Structure formats: structure tokens, C-alpha cells
Structure 1
Amino acid sequence: MPDKPNPIASPPDTIQNFIGGQFQDAADGGRLENVNPATGKVYSTLPDSGAEDVQRAVEAARRAFPQWSSCGLQERYRILNRIAELIGRHRDELAAAESRDSGKPLWLSKSVDIPRAEANFRFFATAILHFASEAHPMEGFAVNYTLRQPLGVVGCISPWNLPLYLFTWKIAPALAAGNCVVAKPSEMTPMTAYLLAHLCREAGLPDGVLNILHGLGPRVGQAIVEHPDIEAISFTGGTRTGAHIAAVAAPKFKKLSLEMGGKNPNIIFADCDFEEMMKTTLRSSFANNGQICLCGSRVYVERPLYERFREELVRRAQGIRVGDPFAEDTRQGAVVSRQHFEKILGCLRQAREEGGTLLCGG
């Protein structure tokens, strides 16, 4: 299939894989629907990739590895810094794509997600120019030193809550170190990863250095984790999925980086700075629509402060404007998917069944 024009200005209705520097559909032609969570409508489709697509991507990455790993730090710096510049130049377009895909407010995508993606590439581009390792003399007999070298082909699997932010947080250091990457963004938020592929090609990233595959975890994600020529896996997502990845990859002695979900408590004492505490609690509870690893999903309050805290939390929560992610006054947009929405409703039903009282919303 011939390459399409650069889609940054107007995101397309058809997303493709990026393998060996070329855009292509899944090997078996399968496709998935991409839904705008704010409207519930399908607005694009993406490849339903599988093991054959992973094999193609790994082969492309292996072909690219000798040149990329030996091209020199200055060249890698130049290309990665150029990618950062292009992300910054297209901040508005990428932010709009991110909010359309994820449901988060546009102001949040503009102020956090896309600037952090740019910063990720810029940080690791410059970091490789100043890398140092330790050396230990053995009393005049010898010097032991550490030499860190690229592994080869590595796999990066990123989540849907901070799509481009965490996608780049994985691939940028891997590329900077001289590795070639087979990456899978979440099937629920694929657009900015697809747009990033166009920017990488514009920046002059050699073919095969970064390969981006779209699809479902049990198909394409599983194939990435299992592939014998992928030396390391970096994953951010659910604990159950991370445990499965560890069970599959550990016997193959792959290097693993697993950042998995948590349920963080806020612990509030009666002698706290009340105003500062309320700002922090509100931010930790509702930032990114509550879909973030830093979310304070449980709040423990010392008894003397409880009544005051409860009243103030309800008052401030009622003041959060929920609405169209593209409206300037929206503070909280749509949750990422119908499945996640139903999960939240299930929690509310369970709370009622167990005798709880909903103080706001529901």
C-alpha cells in the first residue's frame, strides 16, 4: 500500500502499522474500531496485528540494529533531538488527537501530555552525550570498569491513560541507548503513536529502528513478549497483565521493566495545612479523569477532621465541570472507554448494595 501524506494536520480515519520505515496494514488484514469516548462514535480504525506482524517488525529491527548501535552518540542525539523539536512544533495537533482518542480535556493534553513527550526525547537525547560509568582500581593490579552496550531489539508496551507521554518515556531511552524497538501502544489510544511514526520518519530516523504495531494485547502483545529475538520488555499497565508477562518472559531470561497499577491511599492528619491538603487531595483524586497511577483512590482521614473534610471535598467536587474535552471550561472529560465507564457504574452499584451513601454524582 502506498504511503499516505503526512496526517499531522488532519488525523486520518485509517491507522497503519509502522514497520521498517513503511506504513502497512496487518498481515491478515484484520482491523479494530477506534472510538471517541466523548461521543461514543467510531472515528477511525487500526490494524488488528498478530504474530506475523511482530515477526516482520523484529526482522526490520534486526536489520537496522548494526547501523543504529554503531552510528555514534552525536548522530543519535541529532535525530532524537529533531524528533523532540517536531513534537513541540506540532503540539496543538498532537494534543487534539490525544484528547479525541482518550477523552481527556484539551488543556491537559496541551499542558502536560505533549510537552512531556517532547521533554522525554530531549532529555534522553542529551543524556547520552554525558553518560558515565564507574571504575574501581584494584590496588595497582587492575582496573574494573563497567561498559554498557545496547541489547539489540527490545519491546515496549504502553498504556492508554497517558498515551504519547508514556509511549515516548519507553522508546526514547531505548533508542538513545542504541537499541531498536518494537512498540505497541494501547489499542484504545493509538492515534498519537501513529502520528509520531510520521514525525520520526521526517526527523530522519533510519528505517527499522522504531517499529510500531497496533492491536490487542493477547495477540500482538503476547507475540512481542514471546519472541525469542526480543531481548527486553518494558511494560506499563495492569498488575494481572504484568504478572503474565513476567511468567512468560522470565524463563527466557529477558530483561523486564514492569510498572503496574496500584491503589494509593491519601492519609490525612488533623494538624495538616487544610487548604494545601484539599488542593492536593482534589488533584490526586480527579487529575486525568482519575485515570492515573498517582490517583488517591482511598482517603483515610483522622477522626477530628473528618466532618469538615467530607463537606469540603463534596463542595469542591461539585464544582468540577464535566463536559466536552474540547471546551475551554471543562475540567474533566470522558473516561477512556465504555468498558471503563461500566466498571465505574459497577463500583457505584456495589457501594449502594453495601449500604453506602453517594454524596456527589452517581
Structure 2
Amino acid sequence: MDALNFIDGRHVPAQGGEWIENYEPATGAPYGKVASSDARDVQAAVAAAQEAFPAWSSLPAQERSRKLRAVARLIERDKDRLARAESIDCGKPITLAATLEIPRAALNFEFFADAATQSATEAHPAGDVLLNYTLRQPLGPVGSISPWNLPLYLLSWKVAPALAAGNTVVAKPSEVTPATAHLLGELCNE
């Protein structure tokens, strides 16, 4: 599997044209390539996230929730494919990925789909004429770096809450375990 960058809803190669070999830990054999991105690719991803932010952040919370729930259902639908990719990428048993890690990623999207519609604003009196309150508003693009050991689960733990809150995301998965992040981009596009 060759893992391209996923920017602005499209898989695109690194602007520098460079690739990194990706190896299956169980065999040590190469099984694909990963786009070797540089600052230009990051800038393109940030620009796309900034461009998408006004539309995404203005969606009603119920609509963001519906979309996150749809991603959860797609993860569940493609559980076997995602588990195989995670197993090859990380060298972990496929049953562990299929029964624990991939379902947990789907549950993260479900959890934050619920959270998107359950935000509350607190207010506290501060003296006789003042009121302190908290507003929860989207801030803009969020940068997210995820590790190699639980690629999809920990990526979902970062991406789902940011999206639920109305932010857009620039995610950087580990270059040694990019497969499920690549596939998650496809599912989000779907």
C-alpha cells in the first residue's frame, strides 16, 4: 500500500516527490511507500484546513454529530480491512486489532458525536455586577501528531474531538504506521 498525503479531500503525493519505504515488522519486507512530506505539504494542509474551517465550524452541532457517527459506522463496516492494515503496519496480531483497537476507534467517533451535542456553558457570579462565563467555540485548524503503537485508535482520539468541537484538523500519523490513517481519510471522504 502506498500512503499519499490526504489534503483537501484528495490523496496527493508529497510536493518534493520523495518517498519513504514502509516495512512490515513481522517479516522486515517492504510492503509500500509513504509520501515523504516537507514544509510545503504542511503549508498546503494547513491552508486547506483554514479554507474548510468556516464551513465546518458553522455546521450545527447536530450535523457535525451526524457526520462523526457516519465515520464510526464506516469504521465498523471496514473493520476487517482496517485490522489487516493495522496488523501489517504494526506487526500486531490481527485479532487484537479487529477485536480491540479498531472497535475502540469507532467508539471514539461515537463518543465525540454525542459530545458534539452536549456542550454546556458555565456561568459564575463574580461580585455583585460581574458574571464570569465560558464559551466553547471552534478555534480553527488543530494540529495532531499520533504515534506508531496504536495508530488508528490514538488518531481517532485526537481527530474526533477536534471535529466535534467544530475545528478542522491537520493530522500527522507516524511515518512507520500510516496505513490506517490513509484509510481513515478515505472513509471521511466517503
Number of equivalenced pairs? 190
The alignment status of 1:177 with 2:165, answered yes or no, reads: yes
Hey, what does 1:32 align to over in structure 2? 20
Hey, what does 2:8 align to over in structure 1? 20
Cα distance in 1 between the residues matched to 2:118 and 2:43: 35
Hey, what does 1:125 align to over in structure 2? 113
Hey, what does 2:131 align to over in structure 1? 143
Query: Which residues in structure 2 correspond to 1:48-67 (within 5 Å)?
Result: 48-67=36-55
Cα distance in 2 between the residues matched to 1:63 and 1:56: 10
The alpha-carbon deviation at position 189 of structure 1 amounts to: 0.5
The alpha-carbon deviation at position 148 of structure 1 amounts to: 1.6
Of 127, 145, 151 in structure 2, the residue corresponding to residue 163 of structure 1 is 151
Where do 5+ consecutive residues of structure 1 fail to align? 1-12, 203-362
Hey, what does 2:94 align to over in structure 1? 106
Query: Which residues in structure 2 correspond to 1:68-107 (within 5 Å)?
Result: 68-107=56-95
The alpha-carbon deviation at position 139 of structure 1 amounts to: 5.9
The alpha-carbon deviation at position 140 of structure 1 amounts to: 5.5
- What amino acid maps onto 1:151 in structure 2? L
- TM-score norm. by structure 1 comes to 0.51
Query: Which residues in structure 2 correspond to 1:199-214 (within 5 Å)?
Result: 199-202=187-190
Query: Which residues in structure 2 correspond to 1:299-338 (within 5 Å)?
Result: none
The alpha-carbon deviation at position 145 of structure 1 amounts to: 1.3
Where do 5+ consecutive residues of structure 2 fail to align? none
SS state at 2:66 partner: helix
Cα distance in 2 between the residues matched to 1:129 and 1:176: 8
Query: Aligned Cα RMSD in Å?
Result: 1.1
- What amino acid maps onto 1:87 in structure 2? I
Cα distance in 2 between the residues matched to 1:64 and 1:196: 18
The alpha-carbon deviation at position 72 of structure 1 amounts to: 1.1
The alpha-carbon deviation at position 141 of structure 1 amounts to: 2.8
Once the two structures are superposed, residues 289-321 of structure 1 have per-residue CA deviations (whole angstroms, 9 ceiling, x without a partner) of xxxxxxxxxxxxxxxxxxxxxxxxxxxxxxxxx
Cα distance in 1 between the residues matched to 2:100 and 2:117: 26
Stretch moving more, 183-192 or 125-134: 125-134
Once the two structures are superposed, residues 213-257 of structure 1 have per-residue CA deviations (whole angstroms, 9 ceiling, x without a partner) of xxxxxxxxxxxxxxxxxxxxxxxxxxxxxxxxxxxxxxxxxxxxx
- What amino acid maps onto 1:52 in structure 2? R
Q: Larger C-alpha radius of gyration, 1 or 2?
A: 1
The alpha-carbon deviation at position 149 of structure 1 amounts to: 1.3
The alpha-carbon deviation at position 135 of structure 1 amounts to: 0.8
Cα distance in 2 between the residues matched to 1:15 and 1:47: 6
Cα distance in 2 between the residues matched to 1:41 and 1:127: 42
Greater RCO, CA 8 A, separation 6+: 2
- What amino acid maps onto 2:109 in structure 1? F
SS state at 2:117 partner: helix
- TM-score norm. by structure 2 comes to 0.97
Cα distance in 2 between the residues matched to 1:76 and 1:128: 7
Query: Which residues in structure 2 correspond to 1:167-316 (within 5 Å)?
Result: 167-202=155-190
Cα distance in 2 between the residues matched to 1:100 and 1:17: 19
